[in-house]
């Protein structure tokens, strides 16, 4: 029955033993355990902070990628617009050059026609002059005394000389 009702000495020595055990545990076990827990807590905080930084960096990278893609699209559109403008300018220049060449050819043809016309007129004048000389010779050869005969001769000659 002594075990059921502890005596004052047993309680005292149990308390002293508990306090010694508590002191020894505090000195040798609590500090390393609390230090390890503190280190672990610090490591977890650092890992969380690193993860948060990595997440923010990923968001920044995604934003940068989207910005770069937008800039690339804008630049592509600008290049396509420039290419369309250059194509239109080249087509326009080619049309202008073709029109200029056509106008030049038309002017050359008109000049050639004018030259041929002048040449034909000069030939016609020479032919008329030679006809006039022939008529004059024939008139002079005929008898100058008969006026009716002279008039008939001139009319005949003019009838032969009419050009189409």
Nearest to 153 by CA among 163, 50, 16, 137: 137
Two tokens at 160?
Answer: 């032969």
Q: In 4-30, which residue ranges form alpha helices assigned H by DSSP?
A: 8-24
Question: pLDDT by residue (tens digit) across 140-160?
Answer: 666 555 677 767 777 777 777
Question: pLDDT by residue (tens digit) across 54-99?
Answer: 999 999 999 999 999 999 999 999 999 999 999 999 999 999 999 9
Residue 116 in domain: yes
User: Residue 164 pLDDT more than 90?
Assistant: no
Residue 74 in domain: yes
Residue 2 in domain: no
pLDDT of residue 7: 76
Nearest to 161 by CA among 123, 132, 138, 125: 132
Give the span between the Cα atoms of 86 and 121, in whole angstroms: 51
Q: In the chain, which residue ranges form alpha helices assigned H by DSSP?
A: 8-24, 31-141, 147-161
Segment 129-137 mean pLDDT: 79
Give the span between the Cα atoms of 138 and 157, in whole angstroms: 9
pLDDT of residue 25: 87
Q: Share the mean pLDDT of the chain.
A: 86
Containing domain of residue 81, as a range?
Answer: 8-161
Least confident of 32-36, 81-85, 160-164: 160-164
Instruction: Choose between 127 and 113: higher pLDDT.
Output: 113
Residue 1 in domain: no
Residue 67 in domain: yes
Q: How many domains does the chain have?
A: 1
Residue 84 in domain: yes
Residue 127 in domain: yes
Segment 92-114 mean pLDDT: 93
Residue 3 in domain: no
The residue whose two tokens read 């804008």 is 74
């Amino acid at each position: 029955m002594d075990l059921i009702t502890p005596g004052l000495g047993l309680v005292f020595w149990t308390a002293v033993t508990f306090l010694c055990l508590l002191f020894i545990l505090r000195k040798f076990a609590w500090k390393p355990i609390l230090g390890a827990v503190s280190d672990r807590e610090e490591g977890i905080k650092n890992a969380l902070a690193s993860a948060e930084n990595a997440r923010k960096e990923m968001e920044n990278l995604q934003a940068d990628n989207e910005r770069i893609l937008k800039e690339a699209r804008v630049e592509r559109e600008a290049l396509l617009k420039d290419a369309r403008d250059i194509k239109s300018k080249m087509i326009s220049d080619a049309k202008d050059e073709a029109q200029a060449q056509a106008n030049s050819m038309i002017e050359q043809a008109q000049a050639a026609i004018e030259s041929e016309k002048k040449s034909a007129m000069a030939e016609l004048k020479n032919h008329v002059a030679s006809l006039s000389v022939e008529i004059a010779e024939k008139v002079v050869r005929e008898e100058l005394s008969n006026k009716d005969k002279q008039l008939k001769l001139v009319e005949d000659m003019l009838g032969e000389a009419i050009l189409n």
